[in-house]
Structure 1
Amino acid sequence: MSPYKTFEEYNLEVTTEVKESYSKIITELGEDVSREGLLKTPERAAKAMLFLTQGYKQDAVEIIESAMFSEAYDDMVIIKDIELYSLCEHHMLPFFGKAHVAYIPDGQIVGLSKIPRVVDVFARRLQVQERLTHDILECINTTLKPKGVAVVIEAAHMCMMMRGVQKQNSVTTTSGFRGQFEKIETRNEFLKLIGSHLS
């Protein structure tokens, strides 16, 4: 299956079982699934869930390998402020925020758009932020084989904001570093650059 399937193509994969499951859930919550406002809700919810979990049917390695190029450039490449939206695997509630990714090439670079695509592949699965950070980091590290990789994710979690402790302004930050980014000076350069506002 192509890693670039569109939302419309995914709509075709909505199954009767998923729609029926949502219908049962709505009924169990005490609602009337046959009333006008809810008639199409099970189908819409099924389509939304398939879209939000499409990462299971995509291959992040294939995405990187589709746009790798030989290049002598060996300084830091940073793609920051990559929007991400995922679902917490514990409550299936959204968490969302930004990913910052950097790598130092070792003879190979990758098309810039492929890094956000890799973020999306892993974000569009049931996740915890810690594993999401690790998945992105290891995929780039093992596929591109750069001199170093760094990933920082900052996200707000609806499971903390809407339920449980109900803390509205908390942000969770996770990070991972490989290769040259394990050196404190390289890591600090990366952290300084993702925190700056370049004009």
Structure 2
Amino acid sequence: MTVDRPRVEQLTRELLEAIGEDPERPGLTQTPARMAALYAEFFAGVSEDPAEHLARTISVSRGPAPDTLPSGAVLLRDIRFRSVCEHHLLPFAGHAHLAYLPGEQVVGLGALVKVVETLAARPQVQERLGEQIADTIADNLDTRGVLVILDASHGCVTMRGERQSAASTLTIAARGEFTDPTARGELITLIGAAGTGSTAHTRTAETPE
């Protein structure tokens, strides 16, 4: 199911009227159509399956050293993402850092980016987003461990309430071998996420094998 643009336009007009505005005044006449286009982009992932991006894997046992398997993690840092908080429909944005311990199959790095983008293009909370990314990778790749760290700034924190403009949120989701804090410690050091100033609000969610 795709976003119903005509309905979003109508609801936007009603919202403008509800706050006391005139949707027909010059500055607002195009706003309903713009909102429909915006929502179609921001929520495109609602009807998409993120696992589809991981369907094409590459065998690492085929090559000049067929008996050699990866001995360490594949780490992809600083994936920019944006999503919409389901509580206030305000945006949150930041960086995702992903790592997994491959078996005999690896996946193109762009596919991991697509997983993040698909799951972020839904009404979300950051904690669940990290868990969904970790589950998608763990369930659809030949992997012994997965680590997902999200570092994001939330509009509902920076622009409303106490308006903590410098606050950001750091969440960690781990699967398999990376549920062991020692096993993931080196990766966290490499990512450098703990040193980015994200100390305002940290939550860790882990699921053992």
* TM-score normalised by L of structure 1: 0.88
Residue of structure 1 in register with 2:187 after alignment: 190
* 1:17 maps to amino acid: R
Q: Gaps spanning 5+ residues in structure 1: where? A: 2-9
The sequence identity of aligned pairs, in percent, is 37
What is the 5 A alignment of 1:80-91? 80-91=77-88
Residue of structure 1 in register with 2:107 after alignment: 110
Q: Does 1:43 align with 2:43?
A: no
Q: C-alpha displacement at 1:186, in angstroms?
A: 2.1
Q: Does 1:53 align with 2:43?
A: yes
Mapped partners of 1:34, 1:184: distance in 2: 57
Mapped partners of 1:182, 1:17: distance in 2: 44
What is the 5 A alignment of 1:1-199? 14-65=4-55, 67-71=56-60, 72-195=69-192
Q: Gaps spanning 5+ residues in structure 2: where? A: 61-68, 194-209
Pairwise CA RMSD? 1.8
Does the 8 Å contact 2:92/2:152 carry over to 1?
A: yes
Mapped partners of 1:15, 1:153: distance in 2: 31
Query: Residues 119-176 of structure 1: CA distance to partner in whole angstroms, max 9, x if unpaired?
Result: 0111110000000000000000000030110000011111011111211111111001
Q: C-alpha displacement at 1:109, in angstroms?
A: 0.3
Mapped partners of 1:74, 1:46: distance in 2: 47
Matched residue SS, 1:132:
helix
Does the 8 Å contact 1:154/1:173 carry over to 2?
A: yes
Mapped partners of 2:59, 2:180: distance in 1: 25
How many residue pairs are counted as aligned between the two chains?
186
Q: C-alpha displacement at 1:182, in angstroms?
A: 2.1
Query: Residues 82-138 of structure 1: CA distance to partner in whole angstroms, max 9, x if unpaired?
Result: 001000000000011111000010111010001111001111100000000000000
Matched residue SS, 2:188:
helix
Mapped partners of 1:78, 1:124: distance in 2: 23
* 1:34 maps to amino acid: E
Q: C-alpha displacement at 1:15, in angstroms?
A: 2.8
Matched residue SS, 2:109:
coil
Matched residue SS, 1:136:
helix
Ranges of 4+ aligned residues in structure 1 off by more than 6 Å: none
* TM-score normalised by L of structure 2: 0.84
Mapped partners of 2:23, 2:181: distance in 1: 57
